[in-house]
Chain A
């Protein structure tokens, strides 16, 4: 069945990214800037995505993502990955802190997301038709609006789980939430987002 075969295609972000990161990490910790830039290439997209989904503004997301990597660069020498902690978890933790500080300092009005604020997106696969492109943009805007309506805790859990496909353990390590809290938050967030995207889900079902 299609549905079952599709399951095998997905995998955790950490699982895929962690491969080969160990050697790079050691080199980066010894001050090898090239190794750090390679690590950066691996993690720039997921970290930027996470931040963008959290703040909902393209310019700010780029700024905060840069801040995240600058902090990572400064702290990477002292990083000790113990107890199975992964590099991705560490980076997402930094990104989470950067976003939280940004919320505090800038008092972002999280319910306001303009359509022009959406970051440039690349559509997977072939270049879509104009009407599909428009539909995608509208969908993107709806998703982003829905995310901004979630409270930051739920949004954080939802983004890490759905967009970054982090495991529950990883999310707990990044956010510091208990397993029961993050599962409850995820359930509520998913229900809220499902309600918002119902027309698009039905449409995609018809397609």
Chain B
């Protein structure tokens, strides 16, 4: 064995971790090689120094470990016991959970904008056929349709229902409202009203050669944008009558929106004529 082979094995040899053949070779090499023997002797002396003392284990060390194990077991057992204790309250907890679930469902249904509850309305004097709402703040005739569109939260409890009221001869007759299968949501109802008012206003406007249509044009642009969105929603919801109606609005809204200030009376007249022919106002009124 050469020195460069011997040196790396000295430590293993010291700790008795060398295989049989290498051990034999080392045992033969060390007495013959001064440098390797010196290194080995140094390792031995170091090891003796390190090994001179050893940590004494405290007599109560094991009892300390036992106490900690027992404590951990106790806490584990308490956890299990607590779990079983909890089962005693399981029926009460179950009932409470059920009540919470039922309450949540009820609340959700109550807050949902679509509802199947029939709505009755007391109509004073001459009953009207058309779109009415049950929302107190949007009473028919009091709607400022010129105001810009204000979206209504879908979570609000206000519900707008398409109603067809019976013509009643007498006053103070309670008219039974007849909810249709497809209810009209607040956005659509308001939109229909605003469009109807716009078209009616445009159709009945004073006939003159020129007309300042700045305001109508602006409102028509707003309604047109809204119309596109509502039409898409109605189509997605599968509400064909509403989709068709909104489809019919679109060309008129485009025409009115495109009328320039002080437009020629011929242009205005053409739009009016088409409006009259299409009977769109009657259609929206009876919707």
- Which chain A residues have a beta carbon within 8 Å of chain B's beta carbons? 1, 3-4, 6-12, 37, 40-41, 44-45, 48-49, 52, 61-62, 65-67, 69-70, 73-74, 119-124, 136, 139-140, 143, 161-163, 165, 167, 190, 193-194, 197, 200-201, 204-205
Contact = CB atoms under 8 A, between A and B. Distances in A.
Interface stretch (B63-71, B122-130, B271-279): B63-71
B49 interface: yes
Given A11-B15, A11-B16, A204-B45, A44 B51 contact: no
Given A10-B15, A119-B56, A122-B56, A143 B61 contact: no
B30 interface: yes
Contacts of B44: 3, 6
A41 B62 CA distance: 8
Interface string B72-93: 1000000000000000000000
Contacts of B68: 66-67, 70
Contacts of B48: 204
Nearest to A73: B69
Contacts, number: 112
Nearest to A53: B55
Nearest to B10: A7
Contacts of A40: 62, 65
B42 interface: yes
A29 B200 CA distance: 91
Contact of B57 (A1, A44, A204): A44
Contact of B50 (A70, A119, A163, A205): A163
Contacts of A44: 57, 61-62
B49 A200 contact: yes
A66 B61 contact: yes
The 10 closest A-B pairs by CB, nearest first: A121-B53, A120-B56, A69-B65, A49-B55, A165-B15, A11-B16, A119-B55, A70-B68, A122-B56, A66-B65
Nearest to A162: B50
B17 A205 contact: no
B237 interface: no
A172 B35 CA distance: 30
Given A70-B68, A163-B50, A204-B48, A7 B55 contact: no
Residue with the greatest number of chain A CB neighbours at <10 A, chosen from B41, B55, B66: B55
Contact of B31 (A1, A162, A194, A200): A1
Contacts of B57: 44-45, 48
A4 B30 contact: yes
Contact of A204 (B30, B49, B55, B69): B49
A201 B40 contact: no
Contact of A10 (B14, B27, B40, B65): B14
25 contacts: A7-B14, A8-B16, A10-B14, A10-B16, A10-B47, A37-B66, A40-B65, A49-B55, A52-B55, A62-B58, A66-B65, A69-B65, A70-B65, A120-B56, A121-B54, A122-B54, A122-B56, A124-B52, A136-B52, A162-B46, A162-B47, A163-B50, A190-B46, A197-B49, A204-B49
